[in-house]
């Protein structure tokens, strides 16, 4: 270690002798370099200084090119995602009608047949209705005229009024009222006017997938075992065909209809189970947000605000939360008991409470909570 240090010192001395710099000139040059370094550091920090800068901001800045690429890819591939959802759902419905329904009518009791027909068609209608409404319904956008709204902030990207709970969507390139997120599977933003349709679609699609997975479990086991027997018999048939004599005949093979039936059942069960797990987790996540009266974006904002106020010894309160039960009533638009049937269990195109521009107390809320951010 000492030999390396001595070698480094000798090289530096030789370099200084080559430059023919005196002692005073060397110290003067070092001071100038140090001053330039501090001056450049000060200029850089003054240009980039932000009191809210932290690790998250730095990561967002580094990943900004990736965000830009994802936004543009999502914008152009939204139609493909919608077609994929419609195609996969239609394939499952076709398999149920062509393969499973005749088997159900032949083997099940009349009571179970009525149950499957009633629940299956009700669930299918709810999925189709809410998906269509989520795609075609605009999430809601604030007015562009600055004179129509007063006392609101201005969006720095579209230079337009930005009411409370409004956020700018980089994919749609405009502000969205009560924005939750941009969903590529809808090719649309999820906002104030179609948030209920989006959640209802996720809920009923998850229920339908669970229903298909549970009711088709026995059929899946039989179909999977049949496919394994197909592979084994096909292997035996090839071996017999290779050594075939006049006294040997190959074992019988499955018909095309049988192969298609068993593979369709396996495809249905695997797809429904996968969607039930993935979409079920997403549905539970949004259910928790609705219970707290938050959107996906507000969850991150409120978390940072809660941490900031906690350091000051204060308590954060969400001004848009009215309690778990009342939050669900506001979200679903339930103003009276019969609305649980007409607006929740049946297709309903009713509008949500409010216009998304202001957030007054809904009439279905039993008691008003103090709308304070901190106390």
* CA–CA dist 107, 342 (Å, integer): 34
Whether residue 175 has pLDDT greater than 80: yes
| Residue 220 CB coordination number (10 Å) | 20
What was the pLDDT predicted at 53?
63
Q: Is 183 in the active site?
A: yes
Q: Which DSSP helix (H) or strand (E) runs through 229?
A: helix 217-242
Q: In this predicted model, which residue has the larger pLDDT, 47 or 375?
A: 47
Parallel, antiparallel, or unpaired for β 174-176 and 181-183? unpaired
Q: DSSP per residue over 330-365, as a string?
A: HHHT--STTHIIIIISS---PPPSS-SS--PPPTT-
* CA–CA dist 101, 94 (Å, integer): 10
Q: In this predicted model, which residue has the larger pLDDT, 114 or 148?
A: 114
What was the pLDDT predicted at 374?
39
Work out the mean pLDDT of the chain and round it to a whole number: 83
- Rounded to two decimals, what is the model's pTM? 0.77
Q: DSSP per residue over 22-79, as a string?
A: -HHHHHHHHHHHHHHHHHHHHHHHHHH--TT--HHHHHHHHTHHHHHHHHHHHHHHHH
What was the pLDDT predicted at 24?
62
Q: In this predicted model, which residue has the larger pLDDT, 329 or 65?
A: 329
Task: Find how far residue 190's CA is from the centre of its chain.
Answer: 10
Q: Any idea what DSSP says for residue 285?
A: H
Q: In this predicted model, which residue has the larger pLDDT, 69 or 247?
A: 69
Calculate what percentage of the chain has a pLDDT beyond 70: 77
Q: What is the pLDDT of residues 77-113, one digit of tens each?
A: 888 999 999 999 999 999 999 988 988 889 899 999 9
Among the options 175, 183, 202, 212, which is catalytic?
183
Q: In this predicted model, which residue has the larger pLDDT, 246 or 173?
A: 173
């Amino acid at each position: 270690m000492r030999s390396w240090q001595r070698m480094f010192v000798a090289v530096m001395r030789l370099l200084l002798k080559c430059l023919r710099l005196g002692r005073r000139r060397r110290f003067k040059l070092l001071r100038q370099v140090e001053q330039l370094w501090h001056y450049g550091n000060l200029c850089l920090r003054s240009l980039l200084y932000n009191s809210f800068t932290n690790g998250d901001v730095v990561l967002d800045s580094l990943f900004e090119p990736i965000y830009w690429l994802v936004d543009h890819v999502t914008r152009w591939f939204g139609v493909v995602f919608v077609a994929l959802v419609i195609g996969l759902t239609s394939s499952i419905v076709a398999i149920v009608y062509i393969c499973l329904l005749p088997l159900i009518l032949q083997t099940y009791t009349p009571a179970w047949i009525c149950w499957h027909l009633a629940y299956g068609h009700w669930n299918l209608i709810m999925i189709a209705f809410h998906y269509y409404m989520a795609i075609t319904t605009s999430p809601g956008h604030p007015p562009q005229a600055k004179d129509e709204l007063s006392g609101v902030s201005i969006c720095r990207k579209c230079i337009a009024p930005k009411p409370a709970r409004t956020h700018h969507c980089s994919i749609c390139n405009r502000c969205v009222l009560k924005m939750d997120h941009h969903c590529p599977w809808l090719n649309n933003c999820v906002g104030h006017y179609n948030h209920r349709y989006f959640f209802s679609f996720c809920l009923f699609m998850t229920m339908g997938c669970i229903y298909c997975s549970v009711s088709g479990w026995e059929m899946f086991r039989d179909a999977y075992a049949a496919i394994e027997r197909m592979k084994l018999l096909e292997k035996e048939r090839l071996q017999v065909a290779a050594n075939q004599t006049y006294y040997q005949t190959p074992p019988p093979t499955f018909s095309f209809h049988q192969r298609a039936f068993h593979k369709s059942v396996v495809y249905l069960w695997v797809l429904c189970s996968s969607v039930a797990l993935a979409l079920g987790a997403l549905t539970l996540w949004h259910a928790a947000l609705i219970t707290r009266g938050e959107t996906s974006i507000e969850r991150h904002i409120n978390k940072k605000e809660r941490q900031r106020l906690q350091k000051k010894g204060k308590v954060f309160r969400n001004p848009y939360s009215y309690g778990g039960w009342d939050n669900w009533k506001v979200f679903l638009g339930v103003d009276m008991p019969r609305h649980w049937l007409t607006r929740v269990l049946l297709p309903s195109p009713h509008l949500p409470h409010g216009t998304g521009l202001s957030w007054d107390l809904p009439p279905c809320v039993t008691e008003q909570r103090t709308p304070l951010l901190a106390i």
